[in-house]
Amino acid sequence: MSQTALITGASTGIGYELAKCCAADGMDLILVARNQKRLEEVAAELQAAHQIKAEVIAADLSQPKAAADIFKKLGADRAVDILINNAGFGTSGKFAELPLQGEIDMIEVNVTSLVRLSHLLLPGMLARKSGRIMNVASTAAFQPGPLMANYYASKAYVLSFSEALYEEVRKDGVSVTAFCPGATETPFFDRAKMDNVRLRNGSVMAADKAARIGYRGMLRGKVIVIPGLLNRMLAFSVRITPRAIIRKITGFLNDQPG
Ligand SMILES: NC(=O)c1ccc[n+]([C@@H]2O[C@H](COP(=O)([O-])OP(=O)(O)OC[C@H]3O[C@@H](n4cnc5c(N)ncnc54)[C@H](OP(=O)(O)O)[C@@H]3O)[C@@H](O)[C@H]2O)c1
């Protein structure tokens, strides 16, 4: 019987590319995001290309009841073999000047909905002694990020939570992977109003390449996957560099030149 993968944020960017990876391996899909029309296009494309079943659940994960609603729609007997918590967004600017509701919504999407979906779907995986959870963090998880303070903190949570969960369930047939891409070419930067920041003008990986590396790492049951040598070196360098210097460099990269 084919496996089923539930992917949040599957309408664009990394989530869309991860959905393609799963479909190419013959997995049935449950695609979640807000944009129902776009999700239906993705479902139709992947069903036609790979002879799989793809279901669409339109949901706004900033709403606290969204995860429970998704779980209810799945039905009690529905097994989700792979949960990919990918939906997320960033805001940029000085924290005090950003609207509070946007910051709360970001924690809800990037962190709380991921915790809720993991808590709802993990028991089934443990009962079946098989399953995989991939939580999309970021290289932002490894250090504080001035001018994106709340976003970086949300990703640090995802990394810490995923690593801890990995240890809790690794002997029970379930793997948990924190996928930590660096800058990746997706609508993310435009949505975060980061048109001209230095970070974006550096090395940016194609979304399909990043997703393929993350997907392979997840299937191998790796706990942390960082795509790209430069990103791995940056993640390592923060361990041996004084925090004060790291904070300054990250704030510089998150700012616009001039
Ligand atoms: N691009 C990068 O440089 C980069 C680097 C590291 C990590 N990441 C992480 O990678 C993940 C995917 O981002 P991306 O780069 O692929 O950006 P993206 O193309 O903007 O994708 C974000 C996805 O999340 C969904 N989403 C956003 N808000 C949502 C909400 N309230 N409810 C449900 N779904 C929501 C979006 O769909 P709808 O708008 O249709 O809801 C979309 O499918 C995020 O967690 C991001 O933090 C990105």
Phi, psi of 16, rounded to the nearest 5 degrees: -60, -45
Ligand 1 center to residue 154 CA distance, Å? 13
| pLDDT computed for residue 77 by the predictor | 83
Q: Is 177 in the pocket of ligand 1 (CB under 6 A)?
A: no
Q: Is 184 in the pocket of ligand 1 (CB under 6 A)?
A: yes
**Tokens 């509070």 map to which residue?**
100
Phi, psi of 8, rounded to the nearest 5 degrees: -90, 150
**Ligand 1 atom nearest to 183, measured from its CA:** 3
- Catalytic residue list: 151, 155
Ligand 1 center to residue 242 CA distance, Å? 31
| pLDDT computed for residue 126 by the predictor | 98
Q: Which of 79, 91, 96 is nearest to 5 (CA)?
A: 79
Q: What is the mean pLDDT of each run of 10 residues along the chain (258 residues)?
A: 95 98 98 98 98 98 98 92 98 97 98 98 98 98 97 98 98 98 95 87 92 98 97 94 94 89
Tokens coding 187: 């609508």
Residues 6+ apart with CB under 8 A from 112: 64
Q: How far apart are CA 257 and CA 245, in angstroms?
A: 19
| pLDDT computed for residue 83 by the predictor | 98
Q: Is 87 in the pocket of ligand 1 (CB under 6 A)?
A: yes
**Tokens 């989700």 map to which residue?**
80
C-beta neighbour count of 6 within 10 angstroms: 25
Q: What is the DSSP letter of 110?
A: I
Is pTM beyond 0.95? Reply is yes
Q: Which CATH number fits domain 4-253: 3.30.1370.10, 3.90.180.10, 3.40.50.720, 3.40.50.11540?
A: 3.40.50.720
Q: Which of 6, 211, 2 is nearest to 118 (CA)?
A: 6
DSSP reduced 3-state for 182: coil
Ligand 1 center to residue 126 CA distance, Å? 28
| Structure confidence by residue, pLDDT tens digits, 76-89 | 889 999 999 999 99
| pLDDT computed for residue 208 by the predictor | 98
DSSP reduced 3-state for 176: strand
